[in-house]
Structure 1
Amino acid sequence: MTKITIYLGSRCNLNCAYCHRKADEKEPVISEALLTYLKSIKELQVRFIGGEPTLYMDEVKRVVTAVPNARFGITTNGILFDRYREYFLRHRFQVCISFDGNESLRGYDPFRKVIDYPWLAVSCTLYHGNTDFKKIIHAFTEKEKVVGRPLSFFPHIMHVTSRENEPYALTREDFISILSQWEAAVIEYVEDYEIYGVVNTKYQGLFIGLYQRTKAQYKWGESYCVNHRMGKCDASGRFASCLYIRDDYLGEGVEAWVNQKKLLSSKCRGCPVYDYCGGACIKSIQHDRECYFYRRLFGWWKKFSHEHQEAVEELGGTV
């Protein structure tokens, strides 16, 4: 399965202060070259991102029409979800909705009513001021009562890419706190299964985030964002190391890996967790801080998952 993430454009109907995207100078349009390339792939999975990708539904529909047998996904703030729900349902989109547990910075709550949709995921951003797992999970639990379905806490950390979003950067103390909370939650998740045979869904997303890295096996030159399983391109079909910043286009074939190696930190080459990490966010201004966090998180996970290998693999088979 070839996975392609398509960046549709930077327009958004929210203005989240911690957002790390760079605005476009002109609106991109899906090119015929990109559609031709997608048609050449036998087993294809396409994910649409922005900005807010539901503001580019004409472009989304062009892709779906061109490759109707592909698997589709979209990451959205949820504002226009109801408008396009039937379309997403008809084409079996996996819809990932952003919800941080604390929506004061986003200014929009996507979980205000029952959501009747079978393929729903939730993305949660951790930023300075939003790192308390218990508080976030409590907010998710309260929302489950509203939407009538489980909402697994699947976090990702915000990346500092400009002076504008730097005030929300995770501090070293934040990272230390996240590290201890993540480890404690996964230990409880695995031990609940080993001792009681119970799958504690409130911690499932935290487990999945680590388990998927077990299977990543990044080779030198690959990153978390661009690797042998996944490529990321803009609407014209140009592949980039980062679709949010888009200042480094990689080219094709061997050239792409040569160019991406130049972007990776020299510290990554001999790192014992590079095969799980993929170099963290190569565009982050605070890359060293992210490196500190991932070296410890993945270093701990390698040891823990080996010690609990049977339970980890059984739990991994359920997701």
Structure 2
Amino acid sequence: MIVNSLIIKVASRCNLNCSYCYVYNLGDKTYLNQPKLMSDDTFIKIIDRTLEHCLEQNLKIFTFIFHGGEPMLQKKEFYINFVNTANTVLNKNSIRARYAMQTNGLLIDKKWSELFNNLKIYLGISLDGYKEINDKYRVDHKNKGSFDKVVKGLKIGQKFLKSQPGILSVIDPSSDPIKYYNLMKDLRVKNFDLLWPHANIDLNPEGKPWENSSTKKSIVYSDWLIKIFDIWYKEKKQTNMNITMFNSIIGLILNFKYSGNEDFGLDEVGNLVIETNGDIQVVGALKLCGDGFTVSGASIKDHSFSKALETKLANLYYNSHKYLCNKCMECPILEVCGGGPIYSRYSSVNGFNNESIYCKDFVKLIVHIQNTIYSSLPEIYKDKFESIDYEEVVGFLDNFDNDFNQEVITENFKKLTSFSS
């Protein structure tokens, strides 16, 4: 099993207090036991383990993603030392390191921008949309909205950064999707991605039990996304805007190599999380499943990345698009959907042996995108492609017999999906 990127939690505290944050506000309290900032000793061990893994797996490119909390609470000297050390260690072995950071944008200024330019750190900024929507959730510790400060940081970054920052937005279906899309154009954002709210079978995006079962089956997210997709698809040659989710789905539909990611496709998910104390964990969104859920017992002090991937949850996460429930395994759009992000499939009753809470949304969105592409193809290519009947797929899912084709579930899969909080 190959790790090709690390999400490094360089700071375990944040200068915002977003209501939906899985680190601080959805029940997991493990951050309280973490150092506020990662030490130099820990980052040096991370680089040593990275070299070990790259040599073991013959990797020539490796990606470090600085994360938090808020990573810009860490000192500038930390990043200078990290990048210079990593480049020295890895370059000697013909390995190229790439760097990125996901930030809330509040602390971006000219000096930080110059540092990111010098260290070649690509910046992603979290912004959930126009002011009324962003400020419903992304607030500071005095409950004041962050929109104005984030936009200020974005504009500073756009002025001084050599690589223009991207935007990451959590979907809010109550917002106006066209207003959101126009905001991205107005802000001259060329690269952005849309994130499914962190929810699962038990808990809604606010971290509370779902009020009724019909709410879970809603397709409001796909309806919201389709409105953006349609206008983006028509004008993308003019705007030159990249929306990661849509590009990934299109790539999977057209069978482009390496189009899969944590959300869609059948590829392995080759990243791990390193906490500020050096603990090796998996994607933070799984903290939604229970306090301490992501704690594996693995640490960079005692475990290689390969050994860390042998832990139960890390193994499942790595293979999260392969270890799927019967319904997913038989679904007509499996190769594109891949079951969706693993956190959205969890329940305290069946572990991960469920279809995603967003199953119907995935179906509607993927079918719509595939049919849009099909309709735009020249006739000579249509025999190599096909349209999909949305109602047929939904009918299949609604009438699926969960006892059908039991052989697709191995004993290993049963063990891996038997998690409970």
TM above 0.5, one fold?
yes
2:146 is matched with which residue?
108
Aligned ranges for residues 9-158 of structure 1 at < 5 Å? 9-21=11-23, 22-23=28-29, 24-28=31-35, 29=38, 30=42, 32-40=44-52, 41=54, 42-57=60-75, 59-68=78-87, 69-82=96-109, 83-101=111-129, 102-104=133-135, 105-106=137-138, 107-109=145-147, 110-112=150-152, 113-114=155-156, 115-116=158-159, 117-119=161-163, 120-127=165-172, 129-130=174-175, 132-142=176-186, 144=187, 149-158=188-197
Structure 2 contact 5–62 (Cα < 8 Å) conserved: yes
Residue 187 of structure 1: CA displacement? 3.8
Q: Matched residue of 2:106: which SS?
A: coil
Cα distance between partner residues in 2 of 1:141 and 1:210: 22
Give the conservation status (yes or no) of the 8 Å contact 1:154–1:205.
yes
In the alignment, the residues of structure 2 paired with residue 275 and residue 15 of structure 1 have an alpha-carbon distance, to the nearest angstrom, of 37
C-alpha change, 1:191 and 1:111, in structure 2 (3 Å) is: closer
Q: Match for residue 284 of structure 2?
A: 243
- Output the CA distance in 2 between the equivalents of 1:67 and 1:182: 39
Amino acid at match of 1:199: Q
- The letter for the 1-side match of 2:170 is T
Contact 1:8–1:48 at 8 Å: present in 2 too?
A: yes
Question: 1:163-194: CA deviations, max 9, x gaps?
Answer: 8933698995995343234334434444457x
Deviations 1:85-141 (A, max 9, x none): 2211111111001111233132212113553123210111113533x2112123334
CA distance in 2 between counterparts of 1:173 and 1:259 reads 24
Give the CA deviation at 1:295: 2.7
Q: List runs of 5+ in structure 1 lacking aligned partners.
A: 311-319
Is the Cα contact below 8 Å between 1:125 and 1:157 reproduced in 2? yes
Aligned position for 2:366: 298
Q: Which amino acid aligns with 1:103?
A: N
Which secondary structure state, in structure 2, belongs to the residue aligned with residue 127 of structure 1? Answer: coil
Query: SS of the residue aligned with 1:293?
Result: helix
- TM-score, length basis structure 1: 0.74
- The Cα of 1:84 is off from its aligned counterpart by 1.9
Give yes or no for contact 2:5–2:271 (8 Å, CA) kept in 1.
yes
Match of 2:92 in 1: none
In 1, Cα distance between the equivalents of 2:107 and 2:251? 30
Instruction: Provide the rounded CA distance (Å) in 1 between the counterparts of 2:263 and 2:244.
Output: 18
SS of 1:90 mapped into structure 2: helix
**Aligned CA distance change for structure 1 residues 92 and 78 (closer, same or farther; 3 Å):** same
Work out whether residues 123 and 155 of structure 1, in 8 Å CA contact, stay in contact via their aligned partners in 2.
yes
Quote how far apart the aligned CAs of 1:292 are. 2.1
CA distance 1:47–1:175, shift in 2 (3 Å): farther
1:231 aligns with 271
Letter in 2 for 1:242: V
Report the TM-score when normalising by structure 2.
0.58
**Residue-pair matches, total:** 297
Deviating more after overlay: 99-108 vs 31-40: 31-40
Residue in structure 2 matched with residue 275 of structure 1 by the alignment: 335
Q: 1:66 to 1:157 in 2, by over 3 A?
A: same
CA root-mean-square deviation: 4.0
Q: Is the 8 A contact 2:197 2:205 kept in 1?
A: no
Query: Quick one: which amino acid aligns to residue 255 of structure 1?
Result: E
* Higher Cα Rg, which structure: 2
Superposed displacement of residue 159, structure 1:
0.7
